[in-house]
Structure 1
Amino acid sequence: MSGARTTDVEFGIREWLGELTVGSPAPAVATFDTRVKTPRLPGSAAKAAARLARRLRLDVRDRESFFVGDQDGPLLDGELDRAADWARGLVHDLDD
């Protein structure tokens, strides 16, 4: 089983986005997820969330997956640094 079971999530990203009021200009968003590196399973929560955000006319700037050792974690070596670099890049892009 991968990802959260529907019974584990009362208020997830779909619900949060569904309640979001989008003004003009649309807010910039980025999506991310954590995934098991091997075996490489199909699908990405970050990609699905980005697709949903685009349908809601949000300004999707980027999406990324970060890798964990197994379903319960932890992040693989170097992934925390990669995530921090990714976040800094997003902030830098917004400042431009």
Structure 2
Amino acid sequence: MNNLEKLVQELGTPYTITTIDNERVLYCNINQNYEIEVSGLDNMRAHPSIVVYVWQKSPKIKCVETLEGIHSTSLLADTLVELRHKYSLQ
């Protein structure tokens, strides 16, 4: 089991694995306006290079936030909680 599969198992709902731009990524639909995409996890590296993207889906699709330099799954989990809270209020 690679980093992505382990993480989606740990985080549970509402996180899923999907393919975006030919890469398997962690995905979370926050609400009708925002979603989160996490890349850099589809590997077995001890210290993956993780990038988190928050996408605005409406009224037009655009990336509204990018976070790089996350090198642990525990920091990633905390970051995802913060982002879900921040964007669920918008």
The TM-score with structure 1 as length reference comes to 0.34
Does 1 or 2 have the higher relative contact order (CA < 8 Å, sep 6+)? 1
Q: Which has the larger radius of gyration?
A: 1
Q: Which has the higher helix share?
A: 1
The TM-score with structure 2 as length reference comes to 0.36
